[in-house]
Amino acid sequence: MLKLESSLVSVDWLKAHLHDEKLVLLNATLPKVTGSDSPPEIQQIPGTRLFDIKNKFSNTLAPFPNTLPSEEQFNEEAQNLGIDNDSILVVYDDYGFYSCARAWWLFKAFG
């Protein structure tokens, strides 16, 4: 079983654990930041899943962008990505913008 001592992992740690069955890699890049509404088409770490903040992990009916989703919506979308309570998550974004931290915060907010 994987145990983490920190919320941050190194590239070496990720390389050593890349094939662990509980590891879930999430790319949280916001497409609007990249200048397009489609997911970025750039190289990703193998096995990465798209953590779509704009369309899946936000309340799209709210008057403001990227508004907190309901707990039900968050849980459903997380399960759709194959995430459960035993998953070890590694979240990143392609531009070092706030979207990676936003994804981390959403998981903290919803436990």
pLDDT tens per residue across span 85-108? 999 999 998 877 789 999 999 999
Residues contacting residue 5 through CB under 8 Å, at least 6 positions apart = none
Q: Which residues, at least 6 apart from 45, have a Cβ–Cβ distance to it below 8 Å? A: 14, 18, 25, 27, 92
Fold of 11-109: Oxidized Rhodanese; domain 1 (3.40.250)
Among 74, 58, 76, smallest CA distance to 66 is for 58
pLDDT surpasses 60 at 38: no
- Domain ranges in the chain? 11-109
Exposed/middle/buried for 70, CB within 10 Å: 0-12, 13-18, 19+? exposed
**pLDDT at site 30:** 83
Separation of alpha carbons 74 and 20, rounded Å? 24
**Per-residue pLDDT reduced to its tens digit, 45-70:** 889 999 999 999 999 999 998 899 99
pLDDT of residue 33: 54
Element (H, E) at 50: strand 49-50
Kindly report the pTM of this predicted structure: 0.84
